[in-house]
Structure 1
């Protein structure tokens, strides 16, 4: 998503997008480190917390506050690598 588009989105929409991205990143992390699942109870609700993003973190905690009795697990993320393209090779042709 472009930076310009994000700048015009309401905060809650930006946070929803960030939450979805963190969920996808965490899924990838779990695939590489399946032993971490031993720390997460069955039927737990994950609450992503991103270092330096206090407004998002408050929103995320409010989001899971009504977890319906399910255990809440805080996933504290201190750092993300920059997003990089997975393209290995590309050719450009002018039409």
Structure 2
């Protein structure tokens, strides 16, 4: 898989996380200009940050509005949000 595809996949995952964050913090959405492209800058992933910054600068160079959102940290990925289960056997 080439590097650009890897960056796109990482961006898809990061965008999904950002969408979840917006659901939990709807007040943030009101601070994002309507016609602006959202560019996520993950502080914990320098390679993806530089890739996204380049995309943002290209949009700006073409006259587009951009808002850069620094993502300082992200929690480790978990497979399930379930904390505890109990099994009950039916005889």
Residue in 1 aligned with 2:64?
A: 70
Choose the corresponding residue for 2:38, options 34, 38, 46: 46
Q: Name which one, 1 or 2, has greater alpha-carbon Rg.
A: 2
Q: Following the alignment from structure 2 to structure 1, what is the Cα–Cα distance between the partners of residues 81 and 50?
A: 36
Residue in 1 aligned with 2:49?
A: 57
TM-score by length of 1: 0.73
Aligned length: 82
Q: Over aligned residues, Cα RMSD in angstroms? A: 2.0
Structure 1, unmatched stretches of 5+, are 1-8
TM-score by length of 2: 0.75
Matches within 5 A, 1:1-95: 9-67=1-59, 68-86=62-80, 88=82
Residue in 2 aligned with 1:5?
A: none
Structure 2, unmatched stretches of 5+, are none
Which ranges of 4 or more aligned residues in structure 1 deviate by more than 3 Å? none
Distance verdict in 2 for CA 1:34–1:87, change over 3 Å: closer
